[in-house]
Amino acid sequence: MKCLIIEIITIGEVKRRLLEDLARELTKAYAPLVESCLIGASLQMPPAAYNARRNQYNADLILDRVLHRITGENLVLALLTTDLYTRSRNLNFIFGQAQCPGRAALVSLCRLDPTFYGAPPDRKLFLKRATKEVIHELGHTFGLWHCANPSCVMSFSNSILDVDEKKPAFCKTCRRKLHRQTTLTIHVWR
Ligand SMILES: [Zn+2]
Ligand SMILES: [Zn+2]
Protein backbone atom coordinates (compact mmCIF):
# COMPACT_ATOMS: atom_id res chain seq x y z
CA MET A 1 0.00 0.00 0.00
CA LYS A 2 1.23 3.44 -0.88
CA CYS A 3 1.94 5.74 2.07
CA LEU A 4 0.04 8.96 2.46
CA ILE A 5 1.21 12.49 3.03
CA ILE A 6 -0.69 15.02 5.13
CA GLU A 7 -0.42 18.60 3.99
CA ILE A 8 -0.96 21.10 6.79
CA ILE A 9 -2.22 24.47 5.61
CA THR A 10 -3.08 27.52 7.71
CA ILE A 11 -5.81 30.15 7.66
CA GLY A 12 -4.66 32.91 9.97
CA GLU A 13 -1.36 33.25 11.78
CA VAL A 14 -0.14 30.00 13.37
CA LYS A 15 3.31 29.82 14.98
CA ARG A 16 5.84 27.84 12.94
CA ARG A 17 6.96 25.92 16.00
CA LEU A 18 3.41 24.73 16.72
CA LEU A 19 3.05 23.61 13.10
CA GLU A 20 6.28 21.64 13.27
CA ASP A 21 5.31 20.05 16.58
CA LEU A 22 1.90 19.05 15.20
CA ALA A 23 3.47 17.65 12.01
CA ARG A 24 5.69 15.45 14.16
CA GLU A 25 2.84 14.30 16.45
CA LEU A 26 0.57 13.48 13.50
CA THR A 27 3.23 11.48 11.71
CA LYS A 28 3.78 9.51 14.93
CA ALA A 29 0.05 8.91 15.55
CA TYR A 30 -0.66 7.76 11.98
CA ALA A 31 2.47 5.70 11.35
CA PRO A 32 2.77 3.59 9.26
CA LEU A 33 -0.29 4.75 7.26
CA VAL A 34 1.08 8.25 6.91
CA GLU A 35 4.62 8.70 5.71
CA SER A 36 5.07 12.36 6.58
CA CYS A 37 3.40 15.72 7.08
CA LEU A 38 4.40 18.73 5.10
CA ILE A 39 3.70 22.32 5.98
CA GLY A 40 1.96 23.91 3.04
CA ALA A 41 0.62 27.27 2.03
CA SER A 42 -1.46 29.66 4.03
CA LEU A 43 -4.91 30.46 2.67
CA GLN A 44 -7.04 33.57 2.89
CA MET A 45 -10.19 33.22 4.93
CA PRO A 46 -13.12 33.33 2.50
CA PRO A 47 -15.01 36.52 3.51
CA ALA A 48 -18.35 34.74 3.00
CA ALA A 49 -17.50 32.39 5.87
CA TYR A 50 -17.99 35.09 8.49
CA ASN A 51 -21.31 35.17 10.30
CA ALA A 52 -21.66 38.53 12.05
CA ARG A 53 -24.64 37.48 14.16
CA ARG A 54 -22.64 34.61 15.70
CA ASN A 55 -19.23 36.30 15.39
CA GLN A 56 -17.99 32.93 14.14
CA TYR A 57 -16.91 31.34 10.88
CA ASN A 58 -18.82 28.75 8.89
CA ALA A 59 -16.81 25.52 8.93
CA ASP A 60 -18.90 23.89 6.18
CA LEU A 61 -18.07 26.68 3.74
CA ILE A 62 -14.37 26.70 4.67
CA LEU A 63 -14.11 22.92 4.35
CA ASP A 64 -15.63 23.20 0.91
CA ARG A 65 -13.03 25.80 -0.15
CA VAL A 66 -10.18 23.69 1.22
CA LEU A 67 -11.51 20.70 -0.67
CA HIS A 68 -11.53 22.62 -3.94
CA ARG A 69 -7.85 23.37 -3.71
CA ILE A 70 -6.73 19.78 -3.17
CA THR A 71 -4.54 18.48 -5.93
CA GLY A 72 -2.61 15.25 -6.03
CA GLU A 73 -3.15 12.55 -3.47
CA ASN A 74 -2.39 14.28 -0.18
CA LEU A 75 -4.76 14.65 2.72
CA VAL A 76 -5.23 18.26 3.73
CA LEU A 77 -5.52 19.54 7.28
CA ALA A 78 -6.33 23.25 7.64
CA LEU A 79 -5.49 24.94 10.94
CA LEU A 80 -7.42 28.07 11.79
CA THR A 81 -7.24 30.64 14.54
CA THR A 82 -10.89 31.72 14.31
CA ASP A 83 -13.89 30.27 16.11
CA LEU A 84 -16.03 27.88 14.07
CA TYR A 85 -19.65 26.76 13.85
CA THR A 86 -21.46 24.31 11.61
CA ARG A 87 -24.86 24.49 9.98
CA SER A 88 -25.32 20.73 10.24
CA ARG A 89 -25.56 20.42 14.02
CA ASN A 90 -27.11 22.56 16.72
CA LEU A 91 -23.92 23.42 18.66
CA ASN A 92 -22.59 26.70 20.02
CA PHE A 93 -19.20 26.07 18.44
CA ILE A 94 -17.06 23.25 17.08
CA PHE A 95 -13.38 22.47 17.57
CA GLY A 96 -13.12 21.09 14.05
CA GLN A 97 -14.85 19.57 11.04
CA ALA A 98 -13.90 16.89 8.54
CA GLN A 99 -15.19 14.78 5.71
CA CYS A 100 -15.99 11.27 6.89
CA PRO A 101 -14.43 9.64 4.96
CA GLY A 102 -12.62 12.08 2.72
CA ARG A 103 -9.49 14.09 2.27
CA ALA A 104 -10.01 17.39 4.07
CA ALA A 105 -10.18 18.35 7.74
CA LEU A 106 -10.27 21.60 9.72
CA VAL A 107 -9.20 22.33 13.28
CA SER A 108 -9.73 25.65 15.04
CA LEU A 109 -7.00 26.50 17.54
CA CYS A 110 -9.08 29.31 19.03
CA ARG A 111 -10.67 27.43 21.96
CA LEU A 112 -7.69 25.11 22.46
CA ASP A 113 -5.49 27.98 23.64
CA PRO A 114 -5.57 28.26 27.46
CA THR A 115 -5.63 32.07 27.12
CA PHE A 116 -9.12 31.79 25.56
CA TYR A 117 -10.37 30.82 29.06
CA GLY A 118 -8.41 33.58 30.77
CA ALA A 119 -5.61 31.22 31.86
CA PRO A 120 -1.93 32.13 31.41
CA PRO A 121 -0.22 31.02 28.18
CA ASP A 122 0.82 27.36 28.35
CA ARG A 123 2.60 26.09 25.25
CA LYS A 124 2.65 22.46 26.40
CA LEU A 125 -1.06 22.30 27.19
CA PHE A 126 -1.93 24.11 23.95
CA LEU A 127 0.11 21.59 21.93
CA LYS A 128 -1.41 18.65 23.80
CA ARG A 129 -4.95 19.83 23.05
CA ALA A 130 -4.17 20.67 19.43
CA THR A 131 -2.54 17.25 18.96
CA LYS A 132 -5.71 15.51 20.14
CA GLU A 133 -7.97 17.55 17.90
CA VAL A 134 -5.87 17.14 14.74
CA ILE A 135 -5.65 13.36 15.30
CA HIS A 136 -9.43 13.34 15.89
CA GLU A 137 -10.41 15.26 12.75
CA LEU A 138 -8.06 13.27 10.56
CA GLY A 139 -9.56 10.11 12.06
CA HIS A 140 -12.84 11.19 10.43
CA THR A 141 -11.14 11.50 7.03
CA PHE A 142 -10.14 7.86 7.43
CA GLY A 143 -13.79 6.96 7.99
CA LEU A 144 -13.78 6.71 11.80
CA TRP A 145 -16.83 8.11 13.58
CA HIS A 146 -17.19 9.05 17.26
CA CYS A 147 -16.18 6.58 19.92
CA ALA A 148 -18.05 6.04 23.22
CA ASN A 149 -14.80 5.60 25.16
CA PRO A 150 -14.13 9.03 26.77
CA SER A 151 -10.36 8.48 26.85
CA CYS A 152 -10.19 7.61 23.13
CA VAL A 153 -9.07 10.39 20.81
CA MET A 154 -12.17 9.71 18.66
CA SER A 155 -14.59 10.57 21.48
CA PHE A 156 -16.64 13.69 20.72
CA SER A 157 -15.61 16.82 22.64
CA ASN A 158 -18.35 19.20 23.61
CA SER A 159 -16.10 21.31 25.82
CA ILE A 160 -12.45 21.85 26.62
CA LEU A 161 -12.88 19.55 29.64
CA ASP A 162 -13.73 16.69 27.25
CA VAL A 163 -10.62 17.50 25.20
CA ASP A 164 -8.47 17.43 28.32
CA GLU A 165 -9.98 14.13 29.42
CA LYS A 166 -9.14 12.17 26.28
CA LYS A 167 -5.74 10.80 25.33
CA PRO A 168 -3.89 11.67 22.12
CA ALA A 169 -4.30 8.04 21.02
CA PHE A 170 -6.88 5.66 19.54
CA CYS A 171 -8.50 3.01 21.73
CA LYS A 172 -7.95 -0.60 20.61
CA THR A 173 -11.24 -0.73 18.70
CA CYS A 174 -10.63 2.51 16.79
CA ARG A 175 -7.05 1.54 15.99
CA ARG A 176 -8.28 -1.75 14.54
CA LYS A 177 -10.98 0.04 12.54
CA LEU A 178 -8.47 2.61 11.29
CA HIS A 179 -6.19 -0.03 9.84
CA ARG A 180 -9.09 -1.99 8.38
CA GLN A 181 -10.80 0.99 6.82
CA THR A 182 -7.79 2.76 5.42
CA THR A 183 -7.37 0.45 2.46
CA LEU A 184 -11.05 0.92 1.64
CA THR A 185 -10.96 4.69 2.11
CA ILE A 186 -7.92 5.21 -0.07
CA HIS A 187 -9.61 3.15 -2.74
CA VAL A 188 -12.57 5.55 -2.73
CA TRP A 189 -10.32 8.61 -3.15
CA ARG A 190 -8.57 7.36 -6.26
ZN1 LIG B 1 -15.53 14.42 15.58
ZN1 LIG C 1 -12.13 4.63 20.22
Structural domains counted in the chain: 1
State residue 185's pLDDT score: 55
Ligand 1 mean position to 3 CA, how many Å? 24
* The one catalytic residue among 35, 73, 137, 165: 137
pLDDT along the chain (190 residues), means of 10: 86 96 97 92 95 97 92 91 93 96 96 98 98 98 96 97 97 94 57
Ligand 1 mean position to 164 CA, how many Å? 15
Which ligand has the shortest distance to the CA of 135?
1
155: domain CATH number?
A: 3.40.390.10
Ligand 2 mean position to 165 CA, how many Å? 13
User: Of 99, 112, 127, 114, whose CA–CA distance to 25 is shortest?
Assistant: 127
State residue 172's pLDDT score: 97
Whether 57 contacts 91, CB under 8 Å: no
Domain that holds residue 153: 4-189
- Residue 137 annotated among the catalytic residues of the structure: yes
Ligand 1 mean position to 110 CA, how many Å? 17
CA–CA distance, 142 with 106 (Å, rounded to integer) = 14
The predicted model scores a pTM of 0.94
